Amino acid sequence: MRCPPTSTDLATSVLTPGTGAACDAVPDACPPWAPAAVESRPTAVILDLFGTLVSAPDSSERSAAAAQLAWAMRLPMAIAEAALRGSWQPRHDGQLRSSTAVATHLIERCGASAACTNEVEAVLARLANQRLLADRTLLQALKELRPGGIRLAVLSDASPDIAEAWDRSELAPHFDAVVFSCRAGAVKPDRRLFQGVLGKLGVEAGQVLYCGDGGGDELAGAERAGMRVLRVARRGGPAGLAFGEAPWSGRTIPAVEVLPSLLDWWVER
């Protein structure tokens, strides 16, 4: 049975929910994130994207993105940053259906020239490609999940530029299905998102393990949809931006990289 690695920069312990105390995961013991004996092994795992598979951006990264957009629009950075921050909802809930629409929306909010549209689109594409860069350890963990027959999906609040960059990313080949809020027309924890990803996977909610860092009240949303849930400690650390996060007292794992160990434990117990 695999155990969390002991010689990498990944944490070698997991948090006991509700206590903050560390417990070493050892082969002969039931780790604190292990399922109860009555739980059947899931046939699918649904993963959040930002803060779970890739780092959630922090305020300095958002400012750097605003600086690039400001340059493209020939405007002061403060104007671009305010427009970026104030446009989260329409960029994520389906009001804007393409990166061109996002660029146009930002330009109009900033009062910039429409002649900047192509440059703003290019910045959005470049930023999206960077945001989807994944750690080698994460990609290896996803690869290890596939031989066991586990179906994998991504469910994420995401803007059209991210959705358009997805197929070019190294993450995309590892997943059987993906649901982005900008395509589904709703943001977490809207039940339609969870129903949509279940439909794409062709599985029942009770067969699914949902893993996310908790932004958008996604963990409670997944529970209400009938899924089993694990919180993943926020990738990139606590400085990562998250919106709509609610308290969580359920089981927590330190990173997606421990999922192969968890699924092995399910088989071998």
Q: What pLDDT, in 10s, does the model give residues 207-232?
A: 999 999 998 899 999 999 999 999 99
Contacts of 196 (CB under 8 A, 6+ apart): 179, 184
Closest CA to 109 of 88, 147, 82: 82
Match 């020939």 to its residue by tokens: 74
The distance of Cα 174 from the centroid of its chain, to the nearest Å, equals 14
Q: What pLDDT, in 10s, does the model give residues 74-102?
A: 999 999 999 999 999 999 999 999 999 99
pLDDT for 25: 37
177: helix, coil or strand?
strand
Closest CA to 232 of 257, 254, 261, 208: 254
pLDDT for 248: 80
DSSP codes, 40-84: PPPSEEEE-SBTTTBPPP-HHHHHHHHHHHHHHHTS-HHHHHHHH
C-alpha torsion 257→258→263→267, nearest 10: 130
pLDDT for 9: 35
- For residue 252, give the H/E element and its range: strand 252-253
**pLDDT over 90 (residue 144):** yes
**pLDDT over 90 (residue 133):** yes
> Global pTM?
0.85
**pLDDT over 90 (residue 267):** no
pLDDT for 18: 34
pLDDT for 244: 60
The length of the chain in residues reads: 269
Q: What pLDDT, in 10s, does the model give residues 152-189?
A: 999 999 999 999 999 999 999 999 999 999 999 999 99
pLDDT for 247: 77
Contacts of 227 (CB under 8 A, 6+ apart): 46, 194, 205, 206, 208, 209, 210
3-state SS of 130-144? HHCCCCHHHHHHHHH
Match 């009770």 to its residue by tokens: 206
- Facing residues of 152 across strands? 45
Q: What pLDDT, in 10s, does the model give residues 1-45?
A: 333 333 333 333 333 333 333 333 333 445 555 555 557 889 999
pLDDT for 30: 52
